[in-house]
Amino acid sequence: MTEHAAGTPFGKRLASAMAERGPLCVGIDPHPQLLTEWGLTVDVSGLEAFSERCVEAFGSVALVKPQVAFFEAFGSAGIAVLERTLEALRSSGTLVLADAKRGDIGSTMDAYARTWLAEGSELRSDAVTVSPYLGFGALAPALELAAQTQRGVFVLAATSNPEGAQVQRARVDDGRTVAQVMVDEAARRNAGADTLGSVGVVVGATLTDAPDLSALHGPILMPGVGAQGGTADDVRRLAGDALGWVVPNVSREVLRAGPSVAALRDAVARTVDGFAFLRA
């Protein structure tokens, strides 16, 4: 699978990767504590070594999600490591989701979109996470560029942090929660897509309930599985009829198996086996 499979939409490429490699997203989260636990220095050289081992270990994963903030924390040198990490992942044929959670308006949102989704950008990824809480319509530059370049967008809908409920569970005039509005808006963009749409949503696996996902026809990234307390049963419960579109995101649970590349690969294999029911 190449970076673009010559114009194939992201949703279709993701569906193919999940069928071939298993439905799993693994994060590259170079948290200072993890760098220390791996015996690495908490500096740019440690960041690079951590990322290189992850790239080597995660070549068989359907989707890999570098957490952009941990690279930005090291300034321009950290961004340079991120650029090299993204390039290595692209070269390996692994789909890449940049976890940047960008959200703004007008020309600023357009600049964010070009950073992560434009051809020729050193930070280009197969998809990017975005925040819709300046209004879903403010995401238009990212949605439009993603459609042009056959890339994807994952919209934060119902996150598992307690503070999120203040906004996401508020209700609009027609009685829907704000989170449900975000899912429904994403579903509109996926209408008519072949196989799977390219506008996904993020729904936390540790929630007590979730928006109705049945009409989304797009990927559902579910973080919070493993170390944060989410389980396979939670994924089943929250996804409902949309179970076949779920991409569980497991990061800390896998990364704690490092620093051995072989141990990381074993952790990935065990995790994929634990979600075999998603392939049924």
pLDDT of residue 227: 60
- pLDDT over 80 (residue 96): yes
Helix-, strand-, coil-residue percentages of the chain, each rounded to 5: 50, 15, 35
Tens of pLDDT, residues 22-68:
999 999 999 999 999 999 999 999 999 999 999 999 999 999 999 99
Burial code (b: 16+ CB inside 10 Å, e: under 16) for 177-203 equals bbbbbbbbbbbebbeeeeebbbbbbbb
| Mean local confidence (pLDDT), 3-9 | 68
pLDDT of residue 228: 65
Sign of the C-alpha dihedral computed for residues 7, 8, 13 and 19 taken in this order: negative
- pLDDT over 90 (residue 71): yes
Q: Residue 190's pLDDT band (boundaries 50, 70, 90)? A: very high
Q: Residue 236's pLDDT band (boundaries 50, 70, 90)? A: confident
Tens of pLDDT, residues 108-140:
999 999 999 999 999 999 999 999 999 999 999
Q: Which residues are paired to 177 by β-bridges?
A: 171
| Mean local confidence (pLDDT), 217-230 | 83
pLDDT of residue 157: 97
- pLDDT over 90 (residue 7): no
pTM of the model: 0.94
Q: Residue 279's pLDDT band (boundaries 50, 70, 90)? A: low
Strands (E), 54-187: 63-66, 95-102, 127-130, 152-158
Domain extents in the chain = 10-279
Mean pLDDT of the chain: 93
Q: Which CATH fold would you assign to the domain 10-279?
A: TIM Barrel (3.20.20)
pLDDT of residue 1: 41
Rounded Cα distance between 158 and 177, Å, is 10
Q: Residue 231's pLDDT band (boundaries 50, 70, 90)? A: confident
Q: Which of 101, 176, 236, 252 is catalytic?
A: 101
Q: Which two tokens stand for residue 152?
A: 């994807």
Q: Which residues are paired to 202 by β-bridges?
A: 156, 221
Rounded Cα distance between 110 and 158, Å, is 24
pLDDT of residue 266: 96
Rounded Cα distance between 269 and 85, Å, is 22
Cβ–Cβ contacts within 10 Å for residue 157, how many? 29
pLDDT of residue 276: 76
101 catalytic residue (yes or no): yes
